[in-house]
Amino acid sequence: MENNFLGEKKIILVTGGAGFIGSNLCERLVSEGHEVISLDDYSFGSTENHVSGVTYYEGHTKDISKTIKEIPDIIFHLGEYSRVEQSFSDVDKVTESNMVGTKAVLEYWRNTGCKLVYAGSSTKFGEEGKSQSPYSWTKATNTDLVQNYANWFNLPFAITYFYNVYGPKERGDDSTGTLVGIYAERKAQNLPLQVRLPGTQSRNFTHVSDIVDGLLLVGAFGTGDEYGIGHPDAYSVNDVAEMFGGEIETVPNRPGNRTIAPVNADRTIKLGWEPKYNLPTYIKNIV
């Protein structure tokens, strides 16, 4: 069993608990003996990710106060629209999830007075910052709103930032999958690996177990903003395709596809976090 940073048994609410990162977090929390509640509308999540011992509620975050009657000790708010390039054609969905839904979560947080751990987006630190895409703008705006709520109503919080998460339960479909998941799926089907031009765009790929480690540390000890959780090693999209091997084809770039987003994990590292996994070894094992 991993270190139980959160201590004695707690009631923990995970929004997006049936999604990729949320389900891995739920799995760890249950293994450590906590009472875990998930709220998910299953737009990105799946019942296949359900973890024994978790109480699942199906619903949108905008209805959180109507749906969740338990009073949690901690909320891990991961349940937002989470695709950069697709957000240009999904503006209504982005707004409904990341603005209306998150506003309701913050009101729920205010009424319960528990600790909130918000999953911000590392796109905030890209070369065009918060205005890069509808997704990036809503996420960056929400980090400001979380901090304002904390100041206005004297609430405990911490904000984390993930960097290109991969690992068990990631999706591999072209429209909603992660890069590593998509490449693994296309490799299994003997399809060419598509590299969006220019291919030199750099990413810090971080294993989901390392993300969960960081979330638990921040949940236990973090206060305030700027808890980056990202592996220090960066690889280009070309590099990743070459690690998988096989046929590679280039495809046009899309809006919102940033070239670099430097990792700042200093505050998380000071809590004792360090990554245990690396991308080349992971790809070697699954290929």
Residue range 161-185, pLDDT digits in tens: 999 999 999 999 877 789 999 999 9
Looking at residue 213, what is its pLDDT?
A: 98
- pLDDT-derived band at 131 (thresholds 50, 70, 90) equals low
Among 90, 104, 25, 125, smallest CA distance to 59 is for: 104
Q: What residues are paired with 224 via a beta bridge?
A: 158
Contacts of 30 (CB under 8 A, 6+ apart): 36, 51, 52, 53, 54
Neighbours of 95 (CB within 10 A): 15
Average pLDDT of span 190-200: 94
Whole-number Å distance between alpha carbons of 183 and 146: 35
Q: Would you identify the CATH topology of the domain 11-286?
A: Rossmann fold (3.40.50)
**The model's pTM:** 0.95
* Segments making up each domain of the chain, as ranges: 11-286
Q: Do the beta carbons of residue 22 and residue 61 sit within 8 Å? A: no
- pLDDT-derived band at 83 (thresholds 50, 70, 90) equals confident
Residue 257 pLDDT > 70: no
Whole-number Å distance between alpha carbons of 70 and 14: 12
Residue type, 48: E
Looking at residue 128, what is its pLDDT?
A: 54
Looking at residue 174, what is its pLDDT?
A: 78
Residue 233 pLDDT > 50: yes
258 φ/ψ sector (left φ>0, alpha ψ -120 to 50, else beta) = beta
Residue 104 burial by Cβ neighbours in a 10 Å radius (0-12, 13-18, 19+): middle
